[in-house]
Amino acid sequence: MPDPKFSKPWHGIPREEIHWNPTVLDDVCIGCGTCVTGCSRLVYRFDFDRKKPVVVDPLNCMVGCTTCANTCPANAIVFPPIDSVLALQGRAEVRHAVEDDLLARREVLASAFTVPHPDRIVTLSIAEKDLMTADVLRVVLAPVEAGECFCEFVPGQYIELWQPGSNHLSRSYSIANASHGDGRIELHLRQVVGGRFTGWAFDEMRVGDKLRARGPLGAFTLRSAPDVPLLFVAGGTGFAPIHALVEQQARFQPARDMVRRLQPPPRG
């Protein structure tokens, strides 16, 4: 029987709705028993007559864990594609459950060590806000104080934002423009149904609002290909950082039909 302490909901999603558990390839398995004894959640039992592991309680398996497969000497254990878990992490209710759990258990989960953060925190103002499509919002952020900006960022890096007047955790979004020296940063926010930050941005954000920002984060780069044409295919806002990188590259060499953009087909 599944153990309730292991098969409880995963970030608010009932465990039985999540297809994540190991499958043993009997023809490959050598019967060493490493998976059985190494799993502290008792997903497996051992068939001593056949000398084979048996998956008895799949709901005990920790979502995303592949330790048994990683340590199997015969590579006899397989799991579903990790994409199925990543898709769940993209759901607003899962992100909210993680955030709420962090805040609720802050006294237990907070680190006792203070590590200086290398990035600056500045105040930015909403300079422009307009809809690109029905579910994509274009937002331009400008520094409130002259010289206090992220003027040397690389397109595709992220900026961390705090919703003003809210206790929610910060959100990070990809920078969609090339650096122009005036400190303005452009973001393309895709609306998330039930999303906390995007819900505020679409419905309540106003030009002139101010919010804290930290960054830039990450190190997204694009290698040059001087004599080779590049073709980028992207749907939605995924093309924005690529386009900004190409714009930046064009400043240092002639723009000779460097990119052809293939638009996604219209939704029917």
Q: What does the pLDDT read at residue 15?
A: 94
Q: Which residues contact 116 (CB under 8 A, 6 or more apart)?
A: none
DSSP one-letter code for 106: H
Q: What does the pLDDT read at residue 157?
A: 86
Q: What does the pLDDT read at residue 54?
A: 97
Are 212 and 165 in contact by the 8 Å Cβ rule? The answer is no
- Is the model more confident about 152 or about 157? 157
Q: What does the pLDDT read at residue 181?
A: 77
- Is the model more confident about 98 or about 265? 98
Closest by Cα among 190, 121, 113 to 149: 121
Give residue 111's pLDDT band: very low, low, confident or very high (50, 70, 90).
Answer: confident
Phi, psi dihedrals of residue 138, rounded to the nearest 5°: -95, 125
Question: Could you read off the pLDDT of 29-50 as tens digits, one per residue?
Answer: 999 999 999 999 999 999 999 9
Closest by Cα among 93, 171, 183, 173 to 144: 183
Domains of the chain with bracketed CATH: 15-104 (3.30.70.20), 118-268 (2.40.30.10)
Q: Mean pLDDT lowest for which of 81-85, 93-97, 144-148, 182-186?
A: 144-148
Question: Could you read off the pLDDT of 171-198 as tens digits, one per residue?
Answer: 999 888 877 778 889 999 999 888 999 9
Are 241 and 220 in contact by the 8 Å Cβ rule? The answer is yes
Are 212 and 168 in contact by the 8 Å Cβ rule? The answer is no
Question: Could you read off the pLDDT of 115-141 as tens digits, one per residue?
Answer: 555 567 889 999 999 999 999 999 999
DSSP one-letter code for 112: S
Give Dmax (Cα) for the chain: 76
> Is 259 a residue whose pLDDT tops 50?
no
DSSP 219-264: -------TTS-EEEE--GGGGHHHHHHHHHHHTTS--SS-EEEEPP
Closest by Cα among 257, 254, 259, 225 to 240: 259
Angle at Cα 205 formed by Cα 202 and Cα 208, nearest 5°?
145
Question: Could you read off the pLDDT of 209-244 as tens digits, one per residue?
Answer: 999 999 888 876 655 555 666 665 555 556 666 677
Q: What does the pLDDT read at residue 161?
A: 94
Residue type, position 219, single letter: A
